[in-house]
Amino acid sequence: MDSVSAVTSYLQRLNLRDHDVYLAATTAVLLISAAVVARRETQTRPVIYRAPRPQSSVTEQNANTLVPYPRDCMPGGRDVDTPHGGVRVYEWGPRDGRKVLFIHGISTPCIALAPMAKLLSAEGCRVMLFDMWGRGYSDAPDPKIYRQDIGLFSSQVFSVLASSPLDWCGDGFALVGYSLGGGIAASFASYYPLLVRSLVLLAPGGLIDPKRMSVSSHLLYGGLLPDWMVNSIVRWISIFDGRPKVSPDTAVAWQVDAHPGFLPSFVSSLKHGPIYDVHDRYRVLGEQCEAVRAGLDEEQDTAGLREGRVLLIVGVQDTVILPDETADAAVQAIGVANIEVLKLKGGHDLPIANTQGCVDAIVEFWEGF
């Protein structure tokens, strides 16, 4: 029993007939309780890891000496204040164009999807990208308090949508998710189908069999080691290989050094994000597609997934999200009639290495309906 409970119990045993005495004693107990609670809240108040704030612009003279991911590298940049910290958002393109929201992968910030966004904006789309928590120029709410799961990512998506001067929710939007972002996009669409008009998944997470995790991955991300030790080990693991001169890749190394929330966010996403075995959400997507195609949602003016199908794009050389295994798992979960699978040349860097192929496939998918 703590001190507050002891005092309260003692007062209850007293015969305090004098109203003023009783009131004074009760007030004292309440003040003590408030002080104890306030002290506890102060001790456990979650930390927000602040994103780096480097020089904002790049010139020809200093381009090689600044960060690989300048804040003004894309049009329409803005910082959005949320209860979980600041979020960096980019939005541009025709105001009346098809709205397309991108969700990037686990390590590289949204600059990885900038080439695709640029091409789609040239096709007349209104595009929007954002850095997920702890990546790029977005803050990171303490992962010890706020696990990086679909709930936290969904709240970030809604904050991003609400920050736009345009109405993104009224008529819905197309959602393009890559890698971890693919798992987030699939889960988000399964929970909020009326918001998502079209769903495109690029080498998505969520369908990986946990049995495929290596022994080292189980050790690092299975909760067997304390977070401080995992963060220290991950700091020395090469997340991207082979292309150090490409800005999206070098942005990862920059985050490790410059963003105090990157490594905790990275580890938390691996532990709690929609990467492994979320087939149930993919099955819900299949049911929603069947309902649309069967005309069960005709009374809904803003029925989601209007194509009645999901577009899945994988890279034939991908060694992270294995193309055949991922395609088979997606077809089995969503249903062969509810998904269109396309295998393109490229590895897990598909959106960068084969940008044009991805964009052409997406545009053709939209035009087919």
Whichever domain contains 225, its CATH number is 3.40.50.1820
- pLDDT for 160: 99
Cα distances from 215 to residues 73, 222, 227, in angstroms, run 39, 10, 17
Number of domains in the chain: 2
| Domain co-membership, 256 together with 185 | yes
**What is the average per-residue pLDDT within 334-346?**
96
pTM for the predicted model, two decimal places: 0.79
35 lies in which domain range?
3-44
Residue of 168, 171, 194, 175 whose CA lies nearest to 303: 194
Partners of 128 in beta bridges: 91, 101
Q: Are residues 163 and 295 in the same domain?
A: yes
* Of 209, 144, 67, 240, nearest in space to 218 by CA: 209
Is the domain of 117 the same as that of 226? yes
Query: Is the pLDDT assigned to residue 197 strictly greater than 50?
Result: yes
Average pLDDT for 37-42: 54
Residue 69: inside a domain: yes
pLDDT range class, residue 17, cuts 50, 70, 90: low
Q: Residue 344 has what pLDDT?
A: 97
Same domain, 11 and 64: no
Give 70's contacts (C-beta < 8 A, 6+ positions apart): 54, 55, 56, 57, 58
Evaluate whether residue 235 is within a structural domain.
yes
Residue 254 has what pLDDT? 85
pLDDT tens-digit readout, 58-83: 443 444 445 678 888 899 999 999 99
Q: Tell whether 142 and 19 lie within a shared domain.
A: no
Kindly state whether residue 234 falls inside one of the protein's structural domains.
yes
Q: CA-based angle 347:351:353, to the nearest 5?
A: 55
- 113 and 38 within one domain: no
Residues 279, 312 within the same domain: yes
What pLDDT was estimated at residue 30? 58
User: For residue 56, what pLDDT band results from cuts at 50, 70 and 90?
Assistant: very low
Q: Is the pLDDT of residue 368 over 80?
A: yes
In this structure, is residue 243 part of a structural domain? Answer: yes
Which pLDDT value is given to residue 149?
Answer: 98
Q: Is 135 part of any domain?
A: yes
> What average pLDDT does this structure show over 295-301?
57
134: pLDDT strictly greater than 50: yes
Same domain, 121 and 93: yes
| Tens of pLDDT, residues 204-249 | 999 977 665 444 444 433 444 454 444 443 343 333 334 333 356 6
pLDDT range class, residue 320, cuts 50, 70, 90: confident
Within a domain: 253: yes
58 and 89 both lie in a single domain: yes
Q: Which residue has the higher pLDDT, 305 or 31?
A: 305
Same domain for 85 and 13? no
The percent of residues above 70 in pLDDT, for the chain, comes to 70
Is 64 inside any structural domain? yes
φ/ψ of 340, rounded to 5, equals: -115, 120
Q: Do 12 and 84 lie in a common domain?
A: no
Q: How far apart are CA 209 and CA 250, in angstroms?
A: 29
* pLDDT for the residue 37: 54
Amino acid at 178: Y
Q: Which residues have CB under 8 Å from 292's CB, separation 6+?
A: 303, 304, 305, 306, 307, 308
| Whole-angstrom distance, CA of residue 355 vs CA of residue 369 | 22
Task: Please report which residue ranges of the chain form alpha helices under DSSP H.
Answer: 3-13, 19-44, 114-122, 150-162, 180-191, 215-221, 227-234, 247-258, 262-272, 279-293, 323-334, 350-353, 355-367
Within a domain: residue 49? no
Q: Calculate mean pLDDT across residues 113-133.
A: 96
Residue 326 has pLDDT above 60, yes or no: yes
pLDDT at 24: 58
Amino acid 177: pLDDT: 98
**Pair 168, 98: CB distance under 8 Å:** no
Q: Are residues 165 and 111 in the same domain?
A: yes
